[in-house]
Amino acid sequence: MKSVNKARFVYLLHCAKNSLYCGVSNDISRRIRQHNGEIKDEVNIHTCTRAYMS
């Protein structure tokens, strides 16, 4: 299988409870939708259940 280098993004989310969450993703718009609960898949339940500010 051929390896393809995709850009990765480091991001900080300001949570509704005034905490910060740091993550890494190669598809930042999909990842934000996962955090906001718009996409349900293999995401850490802890991060999905928090309310994030946009």
Cα 14 from Cα 41, distance rounded (Å): 22
State which residues form the domain around 15: 9-49
Cα 45 from Cα 3, distance rounded (Å): 29
pLDDT value of residue 25: 92
The closest alpha carbon to 26, from 41, 48, 4, belongs to: 4
3: its two tokens = 């390896």
54 assigned to some structural domain: no
Cα R_g (the chain), whole angstroms: 12
| Number of domains into which the chain is organized | 1
The closest alpha carbon to 24, from 12, 33, 36, belongs to: 12
Of 1 and 15, the one with more pLDDT: 15
Model pTM score: 0.61
18 assigned to some structural domain: yes
Dump pLDDT digits (tens) for 2-54.
667 789 999 998 887 788 889 999 999 988 888 887 887 665 545 544 555 55
3 assigned to some structural domain: no
